[in-house]
A and B are shown apart, each in its own frame.
Chain A
Amino acid sequence: MPAEAGPQLTWDVAHDVSELFEYHFMINALLAGGVVALLAGAVGWLMVLRGEAFAGHTLSMMAFPGAAAAALAGVPGAWGYFVFCGAGAGAIAGVSGAGRRSWGEQSAAIGSVQALALAVGFLFVNLYGGVLGDLESLLFGDLLGVSDGQVLVLALVTAVTLLALMALARPLLFASVDPDVAAARGVPVRRLGFAFLLLLALAVGATSQITGVLLVFALLVAPAASAQALTARPLASLALTVLLALLIVWLGLGIAYFSVYPAGFFIATIAFAIYVLARSIAWLRG
């Protein structure tokens, strides 16, 4: 939680920065935030390139019924996140993947999955009876209350996801931008699409436990969309995505430390500001 003592921002930048590292919770927040930025940046880059932002948003929402179901069943919240995000990936692939549908049909199908997920989550909260104590941290995250164990799980999931992405990189990119030719070359386009949804679900499940349901989407979409607006070079825009994500998370945490307002607000606001800036630069360039 933001320190009640009220750390004061001074004009001595070195002092201010060193103060950020004085508390264990702050070190964990910066560490977890850094790993989240790496994971959400890399997965989000492909998500934006594939035009699957709405699927990503729906998977983010899966954390809500996931956490509520875990509370109801009395199991650790993380189980609920992963199980429901994985189920969400299956549902999205099921309703949108059959045949080659237009984007309009797909988004309607994915929207229906999202509506169902929220309704089921609401039912679980009701069945749970009392107030779901963690509802606020469920929505907005608890970056300042990250435990050592959570950092470890997050780092593990990130390593697995990034290794899988590296192994799939080229055929996945091929299938994403040029599915007809990729299929003619023997690339399993549909199976790769499903594999990517599962990786997206894994990333969202791990990330939203820390950033909350609402914030994970900002980190998935804003850095990637900004970087891709600025450059069409794949490696450059991927690197820029991760750098922007790190900047957004760390700057947001740093400002929140010296402020009475929550970190999530600053992170989402900086993400949006960077996106607007990137689109403006792209527009000015013509």
Chain B
Amino acid sequence: MSGAPILELEHAAVRIGGRTIWSDLSMSMREGEFVALLGANGAGKSTLLRAVLGATTLAAGEIAVLGGPPGRAGAGIGYLPQRRSFSAGTRLRGVDIVRLGLDGDRWGLPLPFGFGRAAERGRADRARVAEVIELVGASVYAERAIGELSGGEQQRLLIAQALVRRPRLLLLDEPLDSLDLPNQAAVAALVARVCHSEGVAALLVAHDVNPLLPYLDRVVYLAAGHAVEGPVAEVVTSETLTNLYGVPIEVLRASDGRLVVVGQPDPPAHHHDRHEHASGEHAHEHAHAG
């Protein structure tokens, strides 16, 4: 797929507290591309997102986000942080959560009525919120309290929230975490559809590549401080993954042509101890081996 470069890294490295998280990472993303960022816990996947957001500076190499330095992209980036879901007691509707993504950082109250440009802007904002909720297929339940919705329904609304300001780059930090398998596939399909129909580039962090494989354009693997990047067909092979992880990994082709990766060192698990992420993921991470 061709298009304008959205994200480019060349020989990039990040060091935190004297430890090299990863080095010699080169990758590029173009408009409409769906890229998965894979690797075990502690491999530095969230660190890469933070570097793209401008929250972590590189120790070496170059990075360009939407053609400029990171941290300047503003509404050009839609970011969905890693998180637990909304608690059952959150008494705001899904549509309100999406609306906050649009103008929640503006001071003052939105006037429910107004004249001229104010009224026009209010109508346009409501229309944009409805449009993006329709895009992710959440219209049926967007009027319900977000805390009452299932994990998959909440995740769709959060993707709508990340999309509402028409970003060109979508950063999704483990959106499949804590979803069951059918919902993982559904959310992956949704992200792929949005990429291709809206021309948005999406970088999605995940543990398990399998639910994503049918939809991805490219993959980035981080392991043991190294990175491997490229199209699915080139990177997702038994040889490359075995070399990367240092343990035997098999990539099988099912009878319908689909790839299945067997023997990843970090099987998908449900995580309930992620609150320390705001201060940096490196201190406490360890493999949750089921």
Give A residues with C-beta under 8 Å from B: 49, 51, 99-100, 102, 166-171, 173-174, 177-178, 180-182, 184-187, 228-229, 232-235, 237
- Asked if residues B103 and A181 are in contact (CB atoms below 8 Å), the reply is no
Closest to A286 in B: B148
C-alpha spacing A180/B80, complex, angstroms: 9
- Asked if residues B81 and A102 are in contact (CB atoms below 8 Å), the reply is no
- Asked if residues A177 and B90 are in contact (CB atoms below 8 Å), the reply is yes
User: Among A102, A173, A177, A233, which residue has its beta carbon within 8 angstroms of that of B86?
Assistant: A177
Starting from the known contacts A178-B97, A182-B104, 14 additional A-B residue pairs (CB-CB under 8 Å) come to A100-B278, A170-B100, A170-B103, A170-B104, A170-B106, A171-B106, A181-B161, A181-B162, A185-B104, A185-B105, A232-B96, A232-B146, A233-B93, A234-B92
6 shortest A-B CB distances, which residue pairs? A174-B104, A232-B145, A228-B91, A180-B81, A185-B105, A174-B100
- Asked if residues A178 and B100 are in contact (CB atoms below 8 Å), the reply is yes
Beyond A171-B107, A181-B79, whether A232 also contacts B91 by CB under 8 A is yes
B91 to chain A, nearest CB (A): 4
- Asked if residues B107 and A168 are in contact (CB atoms below 8 Å), the reply is yes
Q: Does B182 contact A (CB under 8 A)?
A: no
B280 to chain A, nearest CB (A): 12
Q: CB within 8 Å of A: which of B47-105?
A: 53, 79-81, 83, 86, 89-93, 96-97, 100-101, 103-105
Closest to B53 in A: A184
Choose among B91, B105, B110 the residue with the greatest number of A CB atoms under 10 Å from its CB: B91
A268 to chain B, nearest CB (A): 23
Give B residues with C-beta under 8 Å from A: 53, 79-81, 83, 86, 89-93, 96-97, 100-101, 103-110, 112, 144-146, 161-162, 275, 278-279
- Asked if residues B110 and A170 are in contact (CB atoms below 8 Å), the reply is yes
Choose among A99, A167, A174, A181 the residue with the greatest number of B CB atoms under 10 Å from its CB: A181
- Asked if residues B275 and A232 are in contact (CB atoms below 8 Å), the reply is no
Beyond A170-B110, A178-B97, whether A102 also contacts B275 by CB under 8 A is yes
Q: Mind listing 22 A-B residue pairs with CB under 8 Å?
A: A51-B89, A100-B275, A100-B278, A166-B109, A167-B108, A169-B108, A170-B105, A170-B106, A170-B108, A174-B105, A180-B83, A180-B278, A181-B79, A181-B100, A182-B100, A185-B104, A185-B105, A186-B105, A229-B91, A232-B93, A234-B93, A237-B91
Beyond A100-B275, A171-B107, whether A235 also contacts B112 by CB under 8 A is yes
A residues less than 8 Å from B101 (CB atoms): 181
Chain A facing B: main interface SS = helix
- Asked if residues B89 and A173 are in contact (CB atoms below 8 Å), the reply is no
C-alpha spacing A173/B102, complex, angstroms: 13
B residues less than 8 Å from A237 (CB atoms): 91
Total number of residue pairs linking A and B with CB closer than 8 Å: 80
C-alpha spacing A177/B112, complex, angstroms: 21
A residues less than 8 Å from B53 (CB atoms): 184
B residues less than 8 Å from A170 (CB atoms): 100, 103-110
User: Among A49, A166, A177, A182, which residue has its beta carbon within 8 angstroms of that of B108?
Assistant: A166
Closest to B161 in A: A181
C-alpha spacing A169/B110, complex, angstroms: 9
C-alpha spacing A185/B165, complex, angstroms: 12
- Asked if residues B105 and A182 are in contact (CB atoms below 8 Å), the reply is yes
A10 to chain B, nearest CB (A): 42
A227 to chain B, nearest CB (A): 9
C-alpha spacing A99/B90, complex, angstroms: 22
A282 to chain B, nearest CB (A): 10
A residues less than 8 Å from B86 (CB atoms): 177
- Asked if residues A187 and B109 are in contact (CB atoms below 8 Å), the reply is no
C-alpha spacing A170/B260, complex, angstroms: 46
C-alpha spacing A171/B105, complex, angstroms: 5
- Asked if residues A232 and B144 are in contact (CB atoms below 8 Å), the reply is yes
C-alpha spacing A180/B89, complex, angstroms: 18
- Asked if residues B104 and A171 are in contact (CB atoms below 8 Å), the reply is yes
User: Among A99, A166, A173, A232, which residue has its beta carbon within 8 angstroms of that of B104?
Assistant: A173
A residues less than 8 Å from B103 (CB atoms): 170
Closest to B77 in A: A184
A residues less than 8 Å from B81 (CB atoms): 180-181, 184
B residues less than 8 Å from A167 (CB atoms): 107-108
A residues less than 8 Å from B161 (CB atoms): 178, 181
B residues less than 8 Å from A187 (CB atoms): 104-105
Closest to B173 in A: A180
C-alpha spacing A185/B104, complex, angstroms: 9
C-alpha spacing A185/B275, complex, angstroms: 19
B142 to chain A, nearest CB (A): 11
A residues less than 8 Å from B146 (CB atoms): 232
B285 to chain A, nearest CB (A): 17
A residues less than 8 Å from B275 (CB atoms): 100, 102
Beyond A99-B279, A173-B100, A177-B86, whether A184 also contacts B107 by CB under 8 A is no
Beyond A174-B104, A174-B105, whether A234 also contacts B83 by CB under 8 A is no
Closest to A180 in B: B81
